[in-house]
A and B are shown apart, each in its own frame.
Chain A
């Protein structure tokens, strides 16, 4: 049997499993409006998605994933109930600018849960259904929870503008650390360059005012900076908690112990850690072997921008250079963003049948 046929049969089997697990089958269009995706990801999406144009709808993209169109359909009420489970199977398209070895189109089979009632149960359900789809393939499992980092940032004893700046760069690790260090350091918070700033006079010798960004916006930003510089820097204790959080990389049970060690320095982490612990026991009850699962607070931080809670990835043990065979996570904020005010907690995951076949093929050849 040729490889393409094997992939299709595998995809079919998984879609049937997802549909039997309560997923209503949906089929989003291949062509998606670019504005939604650009608004969500910014200019970076152009490096990852194929852009084309439609004479009536303007710029369009070949769908780079299913989650965004499914959330969009769900939040605009096309699909009906507030609580829902969806299953789907189809191709996604990813531009590969640098790595031509990686596939630029491949099948994804996915499962998504929109449910307000019991988020821990939904997390566990998605994880276990995806795990079941992968059968007895030898896998390494990685998990994370960026919600813990968000809680930590939101509880820093500092100005809301600094918290906002940090949250905005949560998904850009380098910049995040750079601003965190800036906010911790008295010298770099200094606004010496604006010494003697007076709203009108300071522009006197400057060039002509051009463009949409106005003088008043500049004055406002300088005044905000001057105001902010009067506040004390973020304490080194708090900086260390954030650094320790980012450095946790362990099996789940050990990670839980390390997280709890940070509670005395940052009690506000309590509820986030409690949620993590509850999720672990729910997974344990579902017969998941926690001692074999990796946990990193910021796992998937650079590649999965819309995730804001529990995240996971399954990797082939046979073929360690393959991209993850399955990935998923919680994206509550995405539903709020796309729902324009309406929101519902949601979690989902996707499997790549082509990588299952590749991973098995490796096994067969061994």
Chain B
């Protein structure tokens, strides 16, 4: 058996199911909608595992699953050296989202990272602490700002409703995923012109650390023949 891990809920799950269905691999959940279990129809030797999208990178990294579908943002965030144990099989053409750095729209003096950095210095001097950026993407944001040479900021953790943190005064700026920008706009925020941190897309990854015997190799080649047919 080879194990395929896919997101266990939401739009990402639905789009993943229909992407595979379009290629003759029918992923099914068990009849009870509440049970996180499923199976594969139309192909032998593959076991379906439903996982939280955020846990799929680690499952692939340690080899608990052979293949997994998740956003590239989550893989890059959780596994700084992701290409040591993972390889990309295919970008799936959905789940597009950009990780971007945003500030209040009324900051008419801040459009670029250069402005952001200098405003951060002034903010620290005035308020006595570093300007706060709310995010759940700590690694990606830190690396991005480091390579851009931005100083005098701090990251504060936000696992949800991140766009609201500025209004709630728990952060001055945010770094979060956006696809249309509508939520940012509704929360009075704008994206810095050079604030694109990562372009994410739903991606099928293969684990290089999972056990692979002869039987698995056969199942894999049938699986890949199906899904890479187009």
Contact = CB atoms under 8 A, between A and B. Distances in A.
Does A associate with B in a complex? yes
Given A210-B188, A218-B108, 18 more contacts: A43-B145, A46-B138, A46-B142, A47-B143, A97-B80, A165-B121, A169-B151, A176-B149, A178-B149, A203-B106, A206-B105, A207-B105, A210-B166, A211-B171, A211-B172, A212-B169, A221-B109, A221-B119
A342 interface: no
A174 B149 contact: yes
B188 A43 contact: no
Given A175-B117, A203-B106, A207-B105, A43 B167 contact: no
Contacts of A221: 109, 118-119, 122
Nearest to B155: A43
Contact of B106 (A174, A179, A209): A209
Contacts of A222: 108-109
A207 B154 contact: no
A215 interface: yes
9 nearest interchain CB pairs? A175-B149, A207-B105, A172-B149, A207-B188, A211-B166, A206-B106, A210-B167, A208-B188, A97-B80
Contact of B108 (A206, A208, A220): A206
Nearest to B147: A174
B106 A43 contact: no
B33 interface: no
B129 to A, nearest CB: 9
Given A178-B149, A210-B106, A168 B81 contact: no
A44 B148 CA distance: 13
A103 to B, nearest CB: 17
The binding surface of chain B is classed by DSSP as mixed
Interface of A: 38, 42-44, 46-47, 97-98, 100, 165, 168-169, 172, 174-176, 178-179, 182, 193-194, 202-203, 206-213, 215, 217-218, 220-222, 225
B130 to A, nearest CB: 7
A218 B107 contact: yes
A351 B172 CA distance: 42
A47 B104 CA distance: 28
B126 interface: yes
Interface in B63-94: 80-81
A212 B138 CA distance: 22
Contact of B151 (A168, A178, A193, A215): A168
A222 B142 CA distance: 27
Nearest to A47: B142
Contacts of A206: 105-106, 108
A213 B151 contact: no
B104 A207 contact: yes
Nearest to B133: A43
**Which of the listed residues A44, A203, A213, A221 has the most CB atoms from chain B within 10 Å of its own CB?**
A213
A210 B167 CA distance: 5
B127 interface: yes
Contacts of A179: 114
B211 interface: no
B123 interface: yes
29 contacts: A43-B130, A43-B142, A44-B146, A97-B80, A97-B139, A165-B118, A169-B151, A172-B149, A174-B149, A175-B117, A175-B148, A176-B149, A179-B114, A206-B105, A208-B106, A208-B188, A209-B106, A210-B104, A210-B167, A210-B188, A211-B166, A211-B169, A211-B172, A212-B172, A213-B107, A218-B109, A221-B118, A222-B108, A222-B109
Interface of B: 80-81, 104-109, 111, 114, 117-119, 121-123, 126-127, 130-131, 138-139, 142-143, 145-155, 166-167, 169, 171-172, 188, 190
A171 to B, nearest CB: 9
A168 B169 CA distance: 27
Contacts of A218: 106-109
A139 B171 CA distance: 49
B154 A43 contact: yes
B123 A213 contact: yes
A221 B104 CA distance: 16
A178 B167 CA distance: 33
Contact of A38 (B107, B114, B146, B154): B154
B104 A211 contact: yes
Contacts of B139: 47, 97
A100 B85 CA distance: 13
A42 B151 contact: yes
B69 to A, nearest CB: 25
Contacts of A203: 106, 108
Given A165-B118, A175-B148, A218-B107, A212 B155 contact: no
A206 B106 CA distance: 5
**Which of the listed residues A42, A168, A211, A221 has the most CB atoms from chain B within 10 Å of its own CB?**
A211
Contacts of A178: 114, 149
A41 B151 CA distance: 9
Given A98-B81, A207-B188, A42 B153 contact: yes
